[in-house]
């Protein structure tokens, strides 16, 4: 895939003013300004985040009502059911709330819907479970903001719901006892980008503060919240960045019981970064809901079982993921619809649990908003994924009359429709995307933070750069460009398709690195000078630590210095 290198503009005057007060390299000030850090106090909060910076949870609309209802349930010894979605965010949400309240109240239970039988979110079966098990209070986590009919069904059965959701509300909201969602109308909570687990965390925080419970009893589960933030791809800014930073420290130093057992059993013992969480922990938790039942993931996360079932499920998921992706790509290539601005693919035999992953894989080859559908219980159900910068929720909303239900956010959504509406959906969805998308949106881009000379890559520079972590959306690991580099003579292909690099600039400064799946670009190095864009990382080997680059793209040099 050919990438467009996109240079991010910055206000030079703001960079200069920040440099005057921080006295660090201008290129670092440039990175800060691009992240909205423009003065000393903002920089101090960014580099020295503290849990004291968290917003008071009672600022969230309905929080007082939610806490009071839980207090009433505990006073009357009512059974409380924690109900969560089947993905990482949902299972970590349930686990965190369950573990927190379990410390001082035993009459609680948890429930995760079956992906295949019940589908996404609050289900009638789940409400029936609450009724049958005498749970008059249900705390729904990472779901429920669009469950209008389901909440009415629960109300008719005298079951109160507290909805903790972070997805975009519709015009109508459910008639739940309390709704915690910073994105709902008239909610003045300052930070709008919490994960579903983050909303659950704020509920626990509010309960703890109101009932004089030491917050350490909640903070010990920050590793679960970190996993949620990382894997649900929410912005790593504001409160999320604070919670992710301290959660990552918890994960690496003293993980909660279930997480610690899972990491040890799966052989994942190491110093984790956010990206390690996304690619090594997240898929294993998700695999339970994709391949079997996510109830198993909660059992692992709360320490009731080890992680062996998650490893087995993940191995099965990897096989299906590869097979279905190949099948879907063949489908697209055979259809020859290059004129369309969307990919919509369907096969009744595909596994419901991996269609979201497959949609993301397709975009790596055909860079367009993508929907992957399979058949489940006589309906077509699947996942939508978007390209960077394009809000896929809006065109889906414009097709809502063709769907039985849908929900999600700007870059990912789930949907269900009747089989007879498939062709109409394909046509309408493409039309609605075409109305909104720009030609430039369909070109994959690599955002370049700054041009960096090899001589500027020093240990002292990297020491400050490391403090920008944890990285994630809106605070991505900086991508640099270095120009007019040439091969030292030691660059080579490793494995079957990777490129191990040894580069030098015109002054003789050198850097080593790796370019995954770019073995075909070795010829560019042999033909002359190249420009390289990359992230900067530490390589630990045999007790030695060296700075190396992880290359995003290589192209023939523009000959600029």
Residue the block writes with tokens 């806490």? 67
Q: 124-162 pLDDT, tens per residue?
A: 999 999 999 999 999 999 999 999 999 999 999 999 999
Q: Give the pLDDT confidence score for residue 561 in this predicted structure.
A: 46
Q: Give the pLDDT confidence score for residue 269 in this predicted structure.
A: 66
As a whole number of angstroms, the distance between CA 381 and CA 379 comes to 6
Q: Give the pLDDT confidence score for residue 170 in this predicted structure.
A: 87
Q: Give the pLDDT confidence score for residue 539 in this predicted structure.
A: 84
Q: Give the pLDDT confidence score for residue 560 in this predicted structure.
A: 52
Give me the phi and psi of 4, to 5 degrees please. -100, 125
Domain boundaries, the chain: 8-48, 53-310, 337-442, 446-561
Could you confirm whether domain 337-442 is CATH 3.10.310.30? yes
3-state secondary structure of 343: strand
Are the CB atoms for 406 and 398 separated by under 8 Å? no
Are the CB atoms for 140 and 83 separated by under 8 Å? yes
CATH architecture of 446-561: Beta Barrel (2.40)
3-state secondary structure of 269: coil
Q: 67-94 pLDDT, tens per residue?
A: 999 999 999 999 999 999 999 999 999 9
Positive or negative CA dihedral for 343, 347, 351, 352?
Answer: positive
* Residues near 331 by beta carbon (within 8 Å), at least 6 away in sequence: 345, 347
- Nearest 5°: the CA angle 54, 58, 60 is 85
Is the pTM of the predicted complex or chain greater than 0.95? no
Q: Give the pLDDT confidence score for residue 274 in this predicted structure.
A: 92
Contacts 24+ apart (CB under 8 A), 188-192: 188/59, 188/61, 189/55, 189/59, 189/60, 189/61, 190/55, 190/59, 191/55, 191/238, 191/239, 191/240
**pLDDT per residue as tens, the chain (561 positions):** 889 999 988 999 999 999 999 999 999 999 999 999 999 999 999 999 999 999 999 999 999 999 999 999 999 999 999 999 999 999 999 999 999 999 999 999 999 999 888 888 999 999 999 999 999 999 999 999 999 999 999 999 999 999 999 998 989 999 999 999 999 999 999 999 999 999 999 999 999 999 999 999 999 999 999 999 999 989 999 999 999 999 999 999 999 999 998 888 877 767 899 999 999 999 999 999 999 899 999 999 999 998 888 989 999 999 999 999 999 999 999 988 889 999 999 999 999 999 999 999 999 999 999 999 999 889 999 999 999 989 999 999 999 999 998 887 788 899 999 999 999 999 999 999 999 999 999 999 999 999 999 999 999 999 999 999 999 999 999 999 999 999 999 999 999 899 999 999 999 999 999 999 999 999 999 889 999 999 999 987 777 889 999 999 999 998 654
Where does 23-107 have alpha helices with state H?
Answer: 26-34, 40-47, 63-75, 88-102
CATH architecture of 53-310: Alpha-Beta Complex (3.90)
């Amino acid at each position: 895939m050919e990438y467009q290198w996109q240079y991010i503009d910055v206000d030079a005057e703001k960079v200069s003013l920040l440099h005057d007060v921080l006295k660090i390299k201008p290129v670092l000030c440039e990175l800060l300004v691009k992240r909205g850090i423009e003065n000393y106090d903002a920089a101090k909060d960014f580099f020295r985040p503290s849990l004291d910076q968290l917003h008071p949870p009672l600022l969230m609309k309905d929080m007082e009502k939610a806490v009071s209802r839980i207090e009433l349930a505990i006073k009357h010894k009512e059974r409380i059911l924690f109900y969560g979605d089947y993905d990482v965010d949902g299972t970590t949400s349930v686990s965190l709330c369950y573990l927190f309240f379990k410390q001082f109240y035993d009459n609680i239970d948890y429930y995760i819907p079956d992906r295949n039988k019940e589908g996404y979110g609050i289900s009638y079966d789940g409400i029936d479970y609450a009724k049958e098990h005498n749970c008059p209070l249900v705390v729904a986590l990472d779901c429920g903001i669009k469950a209008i009919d389901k909440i009415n069904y629960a109300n008719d059965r005298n079951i109160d719901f507290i909805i903790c959701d972070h997805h975009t509300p519709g015009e109508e909201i459910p008639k739940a006892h309390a709704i915690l969602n910073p994105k709902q109308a008239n909610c003045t909570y300052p930070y709008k980008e919490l994960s579903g687990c983050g909303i659950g965390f704020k509920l626990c925080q509010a309960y703890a503060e109101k009932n004089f419970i030491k917050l350490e009893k909640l903070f010990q589960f920050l590793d679960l919240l970190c996993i949620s933030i990382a894997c649900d791809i929410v912005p790593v800014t504001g409160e999320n960045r604070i919670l992710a930073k301290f959660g990552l420290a918890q994960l690496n130093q003293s993980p909660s019981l279930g997480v610690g057992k899972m990491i040890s059993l799966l052989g994942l013992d190491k110093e984790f970064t956010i990206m390690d969480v996304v690619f090594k922990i997240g898929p294993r938790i998700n695999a339970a809901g994709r391949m079997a039942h996510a109830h198993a993931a909660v059992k692992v996360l709360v320490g009731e079982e080890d992680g062996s079932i998650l490893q087995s499920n993940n191995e099965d998921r990897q096989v299906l993921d590869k097979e279905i992706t190949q099948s879907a790509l063949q489908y697209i290539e055979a259809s020859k619809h290059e004129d369309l601005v969307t990919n919509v693919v369907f096969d009744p035999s595909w596994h419901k649990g991996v269609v979201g992953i497959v949609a993301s894989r397709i975009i790596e080859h055909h860079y367009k908003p993508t929907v992957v559908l399979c058949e489940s219980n006589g309906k077509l159900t699947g996942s939508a994924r978007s390209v960077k910068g394009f809000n896929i929720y809006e065109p889906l909303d414009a097709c809502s009359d063709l769907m039985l239900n849908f929900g999600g956010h700007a870059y990912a959504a789930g949907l269900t429709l009747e089989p007879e509406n498939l062709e109409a959906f394909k046509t309408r969805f493409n039309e609605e995307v075409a109305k909104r998308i720009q030609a430039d949106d369909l070109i994959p881009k690599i955002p370049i933070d700054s041009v960096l000379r090899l001589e500027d890559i020093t240990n002292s520079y990297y020491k400050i750069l490391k403090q920008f972590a944890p990285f994630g959306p809106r605070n991505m690991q900086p991508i640099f460009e270095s120009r007019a580099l040439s091969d030292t003579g030691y660059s080579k292909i490793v494995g079957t398709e990777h490129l191990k690099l040894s580069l030098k600039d015109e002054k003789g400064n050198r850097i080593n690195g790796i370019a995954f799946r770019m073995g075909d670009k070795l010829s560019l190095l042999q033909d002359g000078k190249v420009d390289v864009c990359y992230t900067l990382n530490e390589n630990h080997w045999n007790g030695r630590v060296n700075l190396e680059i992880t290359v995003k793209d290589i192209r023939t040099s523009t000959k600029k210095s």
